[in-house]
Amino acid sequence: MAAQMFPEDYDALASFRYSLRKFLSFSRRALAEKAQLTPEQYELLLALKAFSGNTGLTISDLSERLQVKHHSAVSLVDKLEDLRFVQRARGTVDRRQVFVNLTPAGSRILAKVAVLHRVEMRARSPEMIESLLRLQR
């Protein structure tokens, strides 16, 4: 049996999604204007910075982090490699493995747009948090 929904649940869900859409709209515009990146390219750079450690991430890791198919992750890496924001390197233990790493140029462009996203998230987070808290009740 499905849990009962109340009017305030719908309101909280709608409010959260509205806040999220406003943030994503800001993100698309900022990325296009400041870095000529797509949201998916930004998310890939962000995943590399946050989770790659010293070795980098595999395409499979990136595919999982971005919730895209393997071939979509390959396409994103290809485009970012053309821009010289990422580079591929063969594994040292298993030469069949290919790891993707940020380049210094990738780190610079990521820092430029990540700071904008942090400022926007800090401004929008109270309304998002309030919506989420309402859903916990």
User: What confidence tens digit (pLDDT) does each residue in 81-96 have?
Assistant: 999 999 999 888 887 8
pLDDT recorded at residue 54: 84
Q: Which pTM value belongs to this model?
A: 0.91
Amino acid at 60: S
List the chain domain ranges: 7-136
Residue 39's pLDDT is 97
Q: Looking at residue 1, what is its pLDDT?
A: 53
pLDDT tops 70 at residue 66:
yes
* Per-residue three-class SS string for 58-71: EHHHHHHHHCCCHH
- H runs (alpha helix) in the chain: 7-35, 39-51, 59-66, 70-82, 104-136
- Residue 119 main-chain phi, psi, to 5 deg: -60, -45
Residue length of the chain: 137
Is 90 exceeded by the pLDDT of residue 3? Answer: no
Label residue 104 by pLDDT band (50, 70, 90).
very high
Write the DSSP symbol of residue 54.
Answer: T
Q: Does pLDDT of 116 surpass 70?
A: yes
Give me the amino acid identity at 104: P
pLDDT at 2 over 90: no
Mean pLDDT score of the chain: 94
Give the right CATH number for 7-136 from 3.40.50.1580, 1.10.10.10, 3.90.1640.10, 1.10.287.3510: 1.10.10.10
Q: What is the pLDDT of residues 5-64, one digit of tens each?
A: 999 999 999 999 999 999 999 999 999 999 999 999 999 999 999 999 888 999 999 999
